[in-house]
Amino acid sequence: MFEKIDRVLVLGPHPDDGEFSSGATISRLIDEGKEVYYAVFSLCEKSVPKEFPPDALKYELENSCKVLGIKQENVTIFSYEVREFPKYRQEILEDLVKLNKQIKPDLVFLPSSSDIHQDHFTIYQEGVRAFKFCNLLGYEMPWNNFSFSSSIYVVVSKDNINKKIAAIDEYETQKFRPYSGEEFVVSLSKLRGIQIKETYAESFELIRWIVK
C-alpha cells in the first residue's frame, strides 16, 4: 500500500493528536524511508494544566517528534485558538492549501469524518478540500468517535508500538488523561491486530485512495 508513497503529511489539530492516533504507523513509515511532515494547528495554551507554563506543549511536541524520528524542519506549527477552529475555517483552508503546494504529499493523515471535536472536524472538512487530489486516511481517536469506519489496517511492530508509547510519554501535560497510558495504547493496537490476525495494528478510515 505504501510502496509508491514517498512524502507523508500528518495533520494534527493539536499537539499529540498525530502520536495518539498514528504514532506506530508514523514510526513504520519513517523506518521504511518515507519523508514524514507534521502540521499542528494550535498549541492549546488555554488548555494546559496550570502547573505547567502555557507554552509547554511546544517543547513536548518537539521532544515527541525526536522520539518518532520526524525531522524538526518538517514540523509546522500554527497558532489558532483551541476549540475555536470553526471561526477560522477560511484561514485554516488557506494554510492547508499552502502546505499542499509546499510539501506535495502523496499521503495525508487527518481526523476522521466521525470525529466530534469541533477543531478536529474542521481540520477534516478543510483538509479534504485542500488535499482532494491526494490519498487521504482518517485516523482513529476513540474518545472522539461515536463510530469509526476501520476500513484500512496498518500492521505495526512491537518496536513501532514502543516508539509510539515513548512519544506520547513526552507529553507530561497530558498524563492525566485516561487514554495517555501504555495500557490503552497496547490494548487498542492488539484489538486492531486481532481483527486482521496480526499482533499489532492501527486502523484508519479510507477517505480517498488514488490508483495510477
Q: What is the CATH number of the domain that holds 97?
A: 3.40.50.10320
Answer for the pair 123, 129: CB distance below 8 angstroms, yes or no: no
Please give the average per-residue pLDDT across 45-70, as a whole number. Answer: 97
Please give the average per-residue pLDDT across 60-85, as a whole number. Answer: 98
- 118, three cell numbers: 469541533
Is the pLDDT at 96 greater than 90, yes or no?
Answer: yes
Whole-number Å distance between alpha carbons of 33 and 144? 31
For residue 77, what pLDDT is reported? 98
Structural domain contains residue 2: no
Task: Give me the chain's average pLDDT, please.
Answer: 97
Enumerate helices (H) and strands (E) in the chain, giving the number of each: 6, 7
Strand order in the sheet with 107-111: 75-77, 35-40, 7-12, 107-111, 135-139, 201-208, 152-155
Please give the average per-residue pLDDT across 165-187, as a whole number. Answer: 96
From the list 121, 26, 113, 119, the residue with the least C-alpha distance to 75 is: 26
Question: What region, left, alpha or beta, does residue 151 occupy, with left being phi > 0 and alpha being psi -120 to 50 degrees?
Answer: alpha
For residue 188, what pLDDT is reported? 98
Total of domains in the chain? 1
Find the domain containing 75 and state its range.
Answer: 7-208
- 30, three cell numbers: 519513517
Structural domain contains residue 125: yes
Structural domain contains residue 114: yes
pLDDT band, residue 212 (cuts 50/70/90): confident
For residue 1, what pLDDT is reported? 85
Please give the average per-residue pLDDT across 76-80, as a whole number. Answer: 98
Give the dihedral sign, CA 191/121/127/36.
Answer: negative
Whole-number Å distance between alpha carbons of 149 and 111? 12
Structural domain contains residue 157: yes
Percent of the chain with pLDDT over 70: 100
